[in-house]
Every structure is written in structure tokens, then in C-alpha cells.
């Protein structure tokens, strides 16, 4: 099935998942800006910046997978979101001993990943359903 023959709601679902995931990657990439320090040289700052971009690069690879294969990519994104949520909650709770703050940080970063993954999986099944309806 070509993209042109899909229902508008399916197209919106696909693009919502993609855009949400891109926004999450951009949010996580903003944290890499924290790596710059005036005490270091340009090359040391560049190296630190690239190291801090590794999570974004990994998520970009997952985005490419999810863009091509929505079901597999969606499962990976949900798994990454859940794993990040657990890690972030534990890490933040150990630092500030506040359940409310830890939940807020977890929801801000991990829940959009889980939502994007669910949207990718849903769009896969919507496309599959529309494709089976066209062939009959």
C-alpha cells in the first residue's frame, strides 16, 4: 500500500509518532550542551559534546528502524522508554530523595518515549488492517 492510499487518520498517526520521537531526541540532545566548559580546550569540549550525544545517536538509530519497520521499532522504543523510566527514577531518587521530583523527571523524559512506541505499534496495525482491506 502506498502512503497516498492510506486514510488520513493513519497518516496522522504515523507522523505523530515520528514527530514525537524526533522531539524526544531533540530534548535529550539539549542535555549535551551541558558538557561545555570554559576551562577545557576546543577539542576537549568537542569530545565531551560528542560523548554526551551518544544517547541521542542511539535513539536516532532506533528512529530509523521505527521509521522503516513500525512494529519492531515501536517495541524497541517502548522498551527503551520503560528502561529509561526505571533508571531515571532510581537515579533521581538517590540524588534528591523526593518521590514527586523523581516521578516528574521520569514522566518528562520516559513517557513520551513509551507513547511514541505505542503510536508506532498502533500505526503498524492500522496500516496492516487497511492493506488487508484493499486486497480483499
Rg (the chain; Cα; Å): 18
From first to last of the 136 residues of the chain, give the pLDDT tens digit.
555 667 888 889 999 999 999 999 999 999 999 999 999 999 999 999 999 999 999 999 999 999 999 999 999 999 999 999 999 999 999 999 999 999 998 999 899 999 999 999 999 999 988 877 755 4
Asked whether 18 and 59 are in contact (CB, 8 A), the reply is: no
Name the residue among 67, 55, 72 with its Cα closest to residue 20. 67
The three cell numbers of residue 117 are: 512506541
Please report, for the chain, the start and end positions of each structural domain, with discontinuous segments joined by +: 8-135
Amino acid at each position: 500500500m502506498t502512503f497516498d492510499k492510506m486514510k488520513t487518520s493513519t497518516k496522522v498517526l504515523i507522523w505523530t509518532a515520528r514527530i514525537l520521537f524526533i522531539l524526544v531526541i531533540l530534548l535529550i540532545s539539549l542535555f549535551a550542551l551541558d558538557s561545555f566548559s570554559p576551562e577545557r580546550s576546543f577539542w576537549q569540549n568537542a569530545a565531551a559534546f560528542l560523548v554526551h550525544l551518544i544517547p541521542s545517536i542511539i535513539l536516532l538509530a532506533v528512529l530509523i528502524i521505527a521509521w522503516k519497520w513500525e512494529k519492531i521499532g515501536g517495541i524497541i522504543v517502548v522498551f527503551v522508554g520503560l528502561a529509561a523510566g526505571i533508571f531515571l527514577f532510581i537515579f533521581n531518587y538517590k540524588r534528591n530523595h523526593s518521590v514527586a521530583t523523581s516521578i516528574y523527571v521520569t514522566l518528562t523524559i520516559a513517557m513520551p518515549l513509551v507513547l511514541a512506541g505505542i503510536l508506532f505499534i498502533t500505526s503498524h496495525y492500522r496500516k496492516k488492517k487497511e492493506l488487508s482491506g484493499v486486497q480483499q
